[in-house]
Homo-oligomer: A and B are copies of this chain.
Amino acid sequence: MSRDYAVDPLRVGVLGAKGKMGAEVCNAVSRADDLSLVAGIDQGDRLEALTDAGAEVVVDFTHPDVVMGNLEFLVNCGIHAVVGTTGFTAERLATLRSQLDVSPGLGVLIAPNFAIGAVLTMKFSAIAAKYYESVEIIELHHPRKADAPSGTAMRTAQVIAAARAEAGLPASPDATSQEVDGARGALVDDVRVHAIRLSGLIAHEEVLFGADGETLTIRHDSMDRKSFMPGVLLAVRNVPSLPGLTVGLDSLLGL
Mark A residues whose CB is within 8 Å of B.
115-117, 120-121, 123-124, 127-128, 131-136, 138, 140, 143-149, 154, 172-188, 192-202, 208-230, 253, 255
Q: Would B115 and A214 count as touching, CB distance under 8 A?
A: yes
- Copies of this chain present in the complex amount to 4
- Which B residues are CB-close (under 8 A) to A210? 198-201
With beta carbons under 8 angstroms apart, the residue of B213, B218, B219, B222 that contacts A227 is B213
Q: Would A200 and B212 count as touching, CB distance under 8 A?
A: yes
Q: Would A182 and B172 count as touching, CB distance under 8 A?
A: no
- Which B residues are CB-close (under 8 A) to A147? 176-179
Closest to A147 in B: B178
A138 to B185 alpha-carbon distance, docked (Å): 11
A193 to B195 alpha-carbon distance, docked (Å): 10
6 A/B residue pairs, CB under 8 Å, sorted by A? A120-B216, A123-B127, A147-B176, A182-B184, A213-B222, A215-B220
With beta carbons under 8 angstroms apart, the residue of B144, B188, B200 that contacts A215 is B200
Contact A183/B193 with A211-B199, A213-B227 known, Cβ cut-off 8 Å: yes
- Which B residues are CB-close (under 8 A) to A140? 208
A187 to B179 alpha-carbon distance, docked (Å): 11
- Which B residues are CB-close (under 8 A) to A200? 134, 210-215, 221, 223, 227
Q: Would B148 and A178 count as touching, CB distance under 8 A?
A: yes
Q: Would A208 and B222 count as touching, CB distance under 8 A?
A: no
Interface centre among A173, A223, A230, by most B CB within 10 Å?
A: A223
Closest to A212 in B: B226
Minimum CB–CB distance for A10 against chain B, Å: 21
Q: Would B216 and A217 count as touching, CB distance under 8 A?
A: no
- Which B residues are CB-close (under 8 A) to A253? 131
Q: Would B131 and A198 count as touching, CB distance under 8 A?
A: no
Q: Would A145 and B175 count as touching, CB distance under 8 A?
A: yes
Contact A197/B212 with A120-B127, A149-B180, A218-B218 known, Cβ cut-off 8 Å: no
With beta carbons under 8 angstroms apart, the residue of B187, B208, B211 that contacts A196 is B208
Closest to A224 in B: B213
- Which B residues are CB-close (under 8 A) to A123? 127
Q: Would A220 and B214 count as touching, CB distance under 8 A?
A: yes
A229 to B211 alpha-carbon distance, docked (Å): 11
A186 to B132 alpha-carbon distance, docked (Å): 26
- Which B residues are CB-close (under 8 A) to A172? 143, 197-199
A220 to B209 alpha-carbon distance, docked (Å): 10
Minimum CB–CB distance for A19 against chain B, Å: 17
